[in-house]
Amino acid sequence: MEANYCLLPGRGVLRLSGADAHPFLQALITRDLDSLSPECAVYGALLTPQGKYLFDFFLCLKGDDLLLETEAGRLETLTKRLNTYRLRADVTIEQETWEVAAAFGADVDGALGLTGLGAARALGDGIAFLDPRLDGAGARIVAPSGQAEALLAAVGLDPSEAADYDYFRLGLALPDGSKDMVVDKSLMLESNFEALHGVDFDKGCFVGQELTARTKYRALVRKRLLPVHIYGPVPEPDSPLMAGKWEIGNMRSGQNDRGLALVRLDRLAASGGLEQTLRAGDATVALQLPAWADFELPEAEA
């Protein structure tokens, strides 16, 4: 695949500024911000006190300010949620009129002059960083509106469409916000956040830490967000994933022959395991294990 870029109109940027911006966010989110620097971006999430998914985002630095890149349609809701925790902290939370682009394909790292997971640098008036979740997952660019395309063309990348990037990230089994994780319901480890460098268990407290840690240390992960190969029309999100008469999960996002599904592991094992043929809507579906998985799936029950 050639090195491509596209704008991501579904993404937006918050700016957190002020003397307390770093410690304020550090106390709330799943990721340790001690590794955040002008040369390194990170990925994390904000959870409910019960440990359920609310928002996930990428974080990078612009001077002393923190830029938080997340779903554009939920920026206002996230701003309100963060402000409920602000109290007297010296932090200002503002929605930026910046745009977000993705760069993906062959040698994006080299084109952008970046090396290593999450590596970041200034690009014009904006910032480019490698996806902190996974090697080979491309890069993100946040820049003032109207600048990203020219900046990426200048480093030799070819224009593409957001749908092309979506197909690319589905091939890597990377979730895309609330398209793949259910707000106020999904758990971080079910959504593979540990394997994707989105949660730290040594950082100290964060909102929802107790349940997240208990899920890990008591091996209570009962579901997994898994990639699927689709044969037939793409099933609608939330379509039941069926093994015969067994409902073993639900589809999330999909495009062409790729998709993601949230799967009940006990039902997967009881119905025949990973190798069985499944159905979702009018399509036949084959479950897969991500190449980067740090977990195993239960074998089919005898």
Read off the pLDDT of residues 195-227 as tens digits, 9 standing for 90 and up. 999 999 888 889 988 888 888 777 778 999 999
pLDDT band for position 113 (50/70/90)?
very high
Q: Which residues contact 234 (CB under 8 A, 6 or more apart)?
A: 254, 255, 256, 259, 283
Show the CA angle centred on residue 129, arms to residues 127 and 133, nearest 5°.
145
Rounded to the nearest integer, the mean pLDDT of the chain is 94
CATH of 178-287 given 3.40.50.970, 2.40.30.160, 2.40.240.10, 1.10.540.10: 2.40.30.160
pLDDT in tens, 36-66: 999 999 999 999 999 999 999 999 999 999 9
Using alpha carbons, select from 250, 241, 238 the residue that is nearest to residue 272. Answer: 241
List Cα–Cα distances, 170 to 187, 228, 231, 261, in angstroms. 20, 9, 15, 11
**pTM, whole model, 2 decimals?**
0.95
pLDDT band for position 302 (50/70/90)?
low
Question: What are the sequence ranges of the domains in the chain?
Answer: 4-160, 178-287
Tell me the C-alpha distance between 131 and 32, whole Å. 16
Beta bridge partners of 132: none
**What pLDDT is recorded for position 52?**
95
The correct answer on CATH 3.90.950.10 for the domain covering 4-160 is no
Is the pLDDT confidence value at 98 over 60? yes
